């Protein structure tokens, strides 16, 4: 679905220095790192990303979606011929005998393979999984080679534009559920684009290259795009000018449809008029779903992938566009700064991996469209499901992650663990054994009661160490086993994090501690749930 929802690479973890050779035979010497273009996810980032997945999954399920899981690698021939020029970015597995296989490049082609292979006539499926692209930093700086896609697709031969409208509703609901406020979904239609190029006199064989020039209108002024068409792509100037009249059209869905429907030249073209009629139909449904206010009909939106055949769309936010060009003063200041910092030596690898994210926006955060012929490429035209039409959307999860993580105060509130209770022991004197077994028994009681609990793996822990460990988890409660009280069958439950107004705690019989804590915890969410809740605050 989404050649352009690929995330920018995060700054790579600093490569640790080479260790000195050790005498121990078992010790091997490594540059300890993940492969180029990949990263580990951990800690709060992981919780936040899972919260994003959970939130989007809920939206997908709300629309009747089922999920599938396909292998990370496919037969090589399944992938070949699907991605045009980008096929060179496909990771191949070594030929170790047997079949030739490659890592999946996206989730759409495996989905089409799945639909064709199983003779499926209709399905709403979602799939959240990693995909692989051998992007070269030199060519496309800062792109990840392993990243997540998060797709919802509807396959089936349905009433025109009904699933398309629902997909756009899903896109809006997904972004809104993630607390994204200021997004715009640009929409266009491949048939309208094809028709207007024909109408303007572009030759069939030139459509793709003209289309890719038009797609740059979100980053370049029309004059630059026109120059590219005329000089680089050999289009007559009058053709370029005609195209320019059209592709600079953008505005509300209704306005643009009215404008195009009134354009006799365009309406005389079969492809364009079919596209315009479909968009008019879609408008009705999008109104019913209440999502038209998020849409901008933008004739410059072309989208790269070959396989789109109908409506296409992508969502952008203020952060999607590159920042304004720096002024001369800013550039001079930056150069001075860089000179100053030059003493800090940089490893070659770090330089090569360096992200130029300061010069680019995060790009589109959601993208997709209709692709009616992809399943047919697998099924063969002789088969009944030769051309199961499909429409889908892909959320740019890792771009969304960057936007969400940047929200003020959010990361501070995220907890890496779900721990709710820290089980401690207080006591002293020569006969005091630290109540390790007793802490274990209480922890077990809590676990069996469904309560997240930890204790210090130490025989005789000091109170201070236990409070520090509890604080590190951010858990709201402690259960304290006092040397004397515990033998009387009582523990103290204390609320943590109250600072100066320290809670004195409540004595609770051991047998009742699970119920007592469950009642206390009922109003609280935890872990990913907590983070999911934070997303929309």
Residue range at the interface with a second copy (CB under 8 A); choices 2-10, 110-118, 228-236, 242-250 = 110-118
Question: Contact between 30 and a second copy (CB under 8 A)?
Answer: yes
Strand partners, 455: 423
Residue 299's nearest CA partner among 262, 259, 265, 268 is 259
Question: Contact between 62 and a second copy (CB under 8 A)?
Answer: yes
Q: Shortest Cβ distance from residue 470 to a second copy (Å)?
A: 11
Question: Contact between 63 and a second copy (CB under 8 A)?
Answer: yes
Residue 269 near residue 150, CB atoms below 8 Å: no
Question: Contact between 382 and a second copy (CB under 8 A)?
Answer: yes
Q: Rule CB under 8 A: which of 160-189 touch a second copy?
A: 162-163, 165-166, 169, 173
Question: Contact between 13 and a second copy (CB under 8 A)?
Answer: yes
Q: Shortest Cβ distance from residue 289 to a second copy (Å)?
A: 5
Q: Where do we find the tokens 């936040």?
A: 48
* Among residues 135, 186, 438, 479, the one that binds a second copy under rule CB under 8 A: 438
C-beta of 55 vs 364, nearer to a second copy: 55
Question: Contact between 73 and a second copy (CB under 8 A)?
Answer: yes
Alpha carbon distances (Å) from 290 to 6, 169, 451: 29, 8, 42
Torsion of CA 266, 364, 288, 155, to 10 degrees: 80
Gap between the terminal Cα atoms of the chain:
30
Six-digit token pair at 156? 């089936």
C-beta of 140 vs 359, nearer to a second copy: 140
Q: Where do we find the tokens 């990949």?
A: 38
In whole angstroms, give the CA distance from residue 216 to residue 226: 11
* Among residues 216, 259, 383, 533, the one that binds a second copy under rule CB under 8 A: 383
* Among residues 4, 10, 156, 411, the one that binds a second copy under rule CB under 8 A: 156
* Among residues 179, 201, 416, 505, the one that binds a second copy under rule CB under 8 A: 416
Q: Shortest Cβ distance from residue 282 to a second copy (Å)?
A: 12
Question: Contact between 412 and a second copy (CB under 8 A)?
Answer: no
* Among residues 99, 433, 468, 515, the one that binds a second copy under rule CB under 8 A: 99
Q: Which helix (H) or strand (E) holds 371?
A: strand 366-371
Contact characters 131-150, a second copy, x per CB under 8 A: -x-x-----------x----
Catalogue the E-assigned strands of 332-436: 366-371, 390-395, 421-426
Residue range at the interface with a second copy (CB under 8 A); choices 112-120, 238-246, 361-369, 488-496 = 112-120
Q: What residues have CB less than 8 Å from 348, skipping those under 6 apart?
A: none
Q: Shortest Cβ distance from residue 491 to a second copy (Å)?
A: 15
Provide the angle, in degrees to the nearest 10, between the axes of the packed helices 253-261 and 270-288: 150
* Among residues 3, 10, 36, 405, the one that binds a second copy under rule CB under 8 A: 36
Q: Shortest Cβ distance from residue 220 to a second copy (Å)?
A: 31
Q: What angle do CA 329, 334, 337 make, to 5 degrees?
A: 130
Residue range at the interface with a second copy (CB under 8 A); choices 62-70, 181-189, 217-225, 480-488 = 62-70
Q: Shortest Cβ distance from residue 4 to a second copy (Å)?
A: 22
Q: Rule CB under 8 A: which of 449-508 touch a second copy?
A: 450-454, 457-459, 473
* Among residues 3, 10, 72, 201, the one that binds a second copy under rule CB under 8 A: 72
Alpha carbon distances (Å) from 3 to 267, 364, 454: 31, 10, 44
Q: Shortest Cβ distance from residue 343 to a second copy (Å)?
A: 26
Question: Contact between 516 and a second copy (CB under 8 A)?
Answer: no
Residue 276's nearest CA partner among 287, 260, 289 is 260
In whole angstroms, give the CA distance from residue 273 to residue 276: 5
Contact characters 199-218, a second copy, x per CB under 8 A: --------------------
C-beta of 130 vs 250, nearer to a second copy: 130
Q: Shortest Cβ distance from residue 514 to a second copy (Å)?
A: 12
C-beta of 248 vs 254, nearer to a second copy: 254
Torsion of CA 393, 85, 93, 35, to 10 degrees: -80
Which DSSP letter does residue 230 get?
I
Residue 484 near residue 469, CB atoms below 8 Å: no
Question: Contact between 350 and a second copy (CB under 8 A)?
Answer: no
Q: Rule CB under 8 A: which of 290-329 touch a second copy?
A: 290
In whole angstroms, give the CA distance from residue 168 to residue 114: 24
Question: Contact between 84 and a second copy (CB under 8 A)?
Answer: no
* Among residues 376, 427, 474, 505, the one that binds a second copy under rule CB under 8 A: 376
In whole angstroms, give the CA distance from residue 313 to residue 364: 10
Residue 524's nearest CA partner among 448, 440, 444, 415 is 415
Alpha carbon distances (Å) from 101 to 66, 71, 94, 229, 406: 27, 11, 8, 39, 38
Q: What b-and-e string marks burial along 198-213, b requiring 16 or more CB atoms within 10 Å of the CB?
A: bbbebeeebeebbbeb
C-beta of 120 vs 249, nearer to a second copy: 120
Question: Contact between 348 and a second copy (CB under 8 A)?
Answer: no
Residue range at the interface with a second copy (CB under 8 A); choices 217-225, 327-335, 415-423, 497-505 = 415-423
C-beta of 259 vs 518, nearer to a second copy: 518
* Among residues 288, 335, 336, 406, the one that binds a second copy under rule CB under 8 A: 288
């Amino acid at each position: 679905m989404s050649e352009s929802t690929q995330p920018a690479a995060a700054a790579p973890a600093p490569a640790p220095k080479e260790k000195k050779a050790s005498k121990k035979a078992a010790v091997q010497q490594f540059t300890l790192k993940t492969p180029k273009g990949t990263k580990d996810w951990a800690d709060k980032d992981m919780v936040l990303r899972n919260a994003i997945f959970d939130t989007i999954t809920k939206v997908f399920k709300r629309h009747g979606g089922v999920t599938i899981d396909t292998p990370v690698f496919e037969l090589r021939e399944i992938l070949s011929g699907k991605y045009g020029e980008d096929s060179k970015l496909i990771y191949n597995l070594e030929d170790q005998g047997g079949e030739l296989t490659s890592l999946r490049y996206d989730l759409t082609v495996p989905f089409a393979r799945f639909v064709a292979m199983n003779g499926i006539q209709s399905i709403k499926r979602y799939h959240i999984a990693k995909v692989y692209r051998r992007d070269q930093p030199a060519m496309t700086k800062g792109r990840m080679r392993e990243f997540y896609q998060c797709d919802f697709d509807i396959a089936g031969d349905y009433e025109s534009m009904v699933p398309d409208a629902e997909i756009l509703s899903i896109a809006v609901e997904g972004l809104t559920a993630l607390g994204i406020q200021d997004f715009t979904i640009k929409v266009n239609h491949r048939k309208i684009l094809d028709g207007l190029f024909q109408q303007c006199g572009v030759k069939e064989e030139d459509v793709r290259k003209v289309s890719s020039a038009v797609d740059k209108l979100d980053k370049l002024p029309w004059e630059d795009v026109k120059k590219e068409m005329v000089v680089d792509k050999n289009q007559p100037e009058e053709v370029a000018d005609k195209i320019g009249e059209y592709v600079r059209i953008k505005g509300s869905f209704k306005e643009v449809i009215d404008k195009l429907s009134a354009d006799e030249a365009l309406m005389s073209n079969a492809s364009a008029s079919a596209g315009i009629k479909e968009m008019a139909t879609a408008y009705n449904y999008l109104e019913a779903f209440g999502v038209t206010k998020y849409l901008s009909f933008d004739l410059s939106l072309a989208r790269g992938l070959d396989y789109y055949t109908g409506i296409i769309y992508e969502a952008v936010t203020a952060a999607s566009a590159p920042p304004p060009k720096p002024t001369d003063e800013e550039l001079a200041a930056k150069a001075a700064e860089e000179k100053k910092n030059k003493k800090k030596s940089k490893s070659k690898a770090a330089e090569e991996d360096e992200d130029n994210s300061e010069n680019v926006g995060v790009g589109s955060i959601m993208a997709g469209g209709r692709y009616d012929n992809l399943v047919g490429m697998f099924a063969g035209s002789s088969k009944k499901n030769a051309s199961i039409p499909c429409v889908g959307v892909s959320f740019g999860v890792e771009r969304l992650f960057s936007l969400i993580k940047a929200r003020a105060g959010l990361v501070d509130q995220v907890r890496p663990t779900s721990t709710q209770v820290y089980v401690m022991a207080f006591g002293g004197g020569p006969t005091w054994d630290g109540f390790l077994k007793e802490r274990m028994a209480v922890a077990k009681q809590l676990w069996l009661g469904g309560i997240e609990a930890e204790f210090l793996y130490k025989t005789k822990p000091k109170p201070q160490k236990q409070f520090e460990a509890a604080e590190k988890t951010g858990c709201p409660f402690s259960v304290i086993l006092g040397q004397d009280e515990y033998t009387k069958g009582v523990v103290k439950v204390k609320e943590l994090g109250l600072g100066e107004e320290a809670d004195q705690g409540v004595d609770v019989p051991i047998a009742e501690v699970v119920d007592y804590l469950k009642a206390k915890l009922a109003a609280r969410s935890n872990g990913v749930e907590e983070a999911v809740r934070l997303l929309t605050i």
